[in-house]
């Protein structure tokens, strides 16, 4: 007589094996789709199609359908960027800002970000703000200008950058704790796709309220109740009709 438990165990092994085989087949199929897509991008890119050039650059950057190659990604981003493709201009800006695929050059990064930012590209506006915020010499008024435009479109990092500038002031900008607190809270509650992650990364504590943790406590400790109330009123105004942006392909972290 066949033991029921043994039959059940064999059945579980078979099911697990079939599931593994199904997953492996899906992985192969997915990889083949990525390779086919990369080949289509290459064909169109070589004919001068800017959208395909940008897509091929992204494939090389992420390693989807081709071997990851940052240098080759930059080649295709540049070709698309030279045709005025805003996303490619931003990605080329990112390459120069981070020094991947090319030698790090903040001035070239600014030059490539500018036309995309002027065209309204949210992530180019954010990156341009970050460059003025963190590069030498720092230019806080210009950083606030570009951060502000990106924040209006929903960029969480732009809001975090504005908080950081207003928190201490300097370099042509006055300290403003009310705006600093409002923007810090806006990062998490502004309905941006990565706001909560950024706050937790920068603060290092789990959320328990608006921009919870040590960062907010240090800021509000030196503020009056009236100032805190004013910050809360600003936040209420900003969150009416807020537009949620598309999440960037490359994950953003707190700017260095």
Average pLDDT along the chain: 81
Q: What is the reported pLDDT for 239? A: 82
pLDDT number for residue 208: 42
> Which of 62, 98, 101, 105 is closest to 78 using CA atoms?
101
Q: How many beta carbons lie within 10 A of that of residue 106, not counting itself?
A: 16
**pTM of the predicted structure, to 2 decimals:** 0.76
Three-class secondary structure of residue 173 per DSSP: strand
Domain at 120-256: CATH code: 1.25.40.10
Domain boundaries, the chain: 34-119, 120-256
DSSP structural state of residue 170: B
Report DSSP state, residue 154: T
pLDDT at 31: 79
Superfamily of domain 34-119: Tetratricopeptide repeat domain (1.25.40.10)
Give Cα 157 to chain centroid, integer Å: 8
Instruction: Give the model confidence (pLDDT) of 217-227 as tens digits.
Output: 888 999 999 99
173 phi, psi to nearest 5 deg: -130, 135
What's the pLDDT score for residue 104?
95
pLDDT over 60 (residue 70): yes
> In degrees, to the nearest 5, what angle opens at C-alpha 186 toward C-alphas 141 and 181?
70
Q: pLDDT by residue (tens digit) across 154-199? A: 888 899 899 999 998 988 899 999 999 999 988 865 444 444 455 4
Q: What is the pLDDT of residue 32?
A: 87
3-state DSSP assignment of residue 177: helix
Q: Tell me if 34-119 shares its fold with 120-256.
A: yes
Count other Cβ atoms within 10 Å, centred on residue 98: 14
Tens digits of per-residue pLDDT, 1-54?
445 454 445 555 555 666 655 665 555 577 788 889 889 989 999 999 999 999
Residue 138 has a CB neighbour count (10 Å cut-off) of 15
* Alpha carbon distance 172, 164 (integer Å): 14
Checking if the pLDDT of 145 tops 90, the result is yes
pLDDT digits (tens, 9 = 90+) for 97-127: 999 999 999 999 999 999 999 999 999 999 9
């Amino acid at each position: 007589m066949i033991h029921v438990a043994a039959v059940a165990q064999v059945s579980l092994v078979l099911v697990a094996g079939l599931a593994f085989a199904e997953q492996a087949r899906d992985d192969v199929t997915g990889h083949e789709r990525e390779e086919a897509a990369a080949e289509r991008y290459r064909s169109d890119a070589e004919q001068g199609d800017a959208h395909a050039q940008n897509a091929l650059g992204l494939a090389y950057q992420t390693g989807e359908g081709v071997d990851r190659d940052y240098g080759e990604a930059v080649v295709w981003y540049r070709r698309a960027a030279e045709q005025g493709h805003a996303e490619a201009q931003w990605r080329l800006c990112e390459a120069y800002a981070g020094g991947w695929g090319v030698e790090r050059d903040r001035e070239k990064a600014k030059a490539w970000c500018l036309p995309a930012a002027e065209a309204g590209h949210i992530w180019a506006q954010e990156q341009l703000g970050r460059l003025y915020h963190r590069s030498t010499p720092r230019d806080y008024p210009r950083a606030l200008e570009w951060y502000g435009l990106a924040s209006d479109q929903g960029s969480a990092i732009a809001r975090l950058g504005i908080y950081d500038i207003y928190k201490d002031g300097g370099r042509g900008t006055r300290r403003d704790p009310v705006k600093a607190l409002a923007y810090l809270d806006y990062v998490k509650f502004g309905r941006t796709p990565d706001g909560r992650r950024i706050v937790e990364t920068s603060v290092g504590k789990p959320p328990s309220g608006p921009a919870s943790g040590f960062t907010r406590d240090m800021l509000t400790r030196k503020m009056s109740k009236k100032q805190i109330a004013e910050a809360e009123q600003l936040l209420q105004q900003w969150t009416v009709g807020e537009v949620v942006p598309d999440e960037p392909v490359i994950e953003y972290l707190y700017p260095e």
